Amino acid sequence: MPKFETTRHVKHRAEQMFDLVADIETYPQFLPMCESLKVRSRKESHGKTLLIADMTVGYKLIRETFTSQVLLKPEEKVIITKYIDGPFRYLDNRWQFIPDENPEHSAVKFYIDYEFKSRTLGFLMGSMFDIAFRKFTEAFEKRADAIYGMGPSPMA
């Protein structure tokens, strides 16, 4: 039942970071262990977007695909991912993007809680998932630096 939570202070606006994390189709370009991501459906209603997506993750010879529901709430600057099907017993993932006193900076809160269905798969991939999830916020921050440019002040 691994769980990980972190807050990173970044030199990009909350809206920019929300847009970056909401652009799930680009994940295979920069996210650790993410080999492919396909959006099955997209529904927009009342300023929110609901996606159903399949993500394939891999490490060495192991590949697993899982399906998730991703709720994008741009007004609240929140992204909530709920697990639907695949190798997990459950997976709960949340992002929150909080504007900073400096309007060009923000805080990015990342939370993930998950458990594999299979003990064997948990043993084989669990430590790699732990490492990958711990690097997620860093990967998004590096991606933001590449897309939006690097600000003048150092990271907190």
Q: Could you say which DSSP state residue 152 is in?
A: S
How many Å apart are CA 97 and CA 13, to the nearest integer? 9
Assigned superfamily of 3-148? START domain (3.30.530.20)
User: 46-66 b/e with 16+ CB inside 10 Å = b?
Assistant: eeeeebebbbbbebeeeebbb
* Sequential pLDDT tens for the chain (156 residues): 678 899 999 999 999 999 999 999 999 999 988 999 999 999 999 999 999 999 998 877 878 899 999 999 999 999 999 999 998 899 999 999 999 999 899 999 999 998 888 888 777 766 777 777 777 888 999 999 999 987 554 444
Sign of the C-alpha dihedral computed for residues 116, 121, 123 and 125 taken in this order: negative
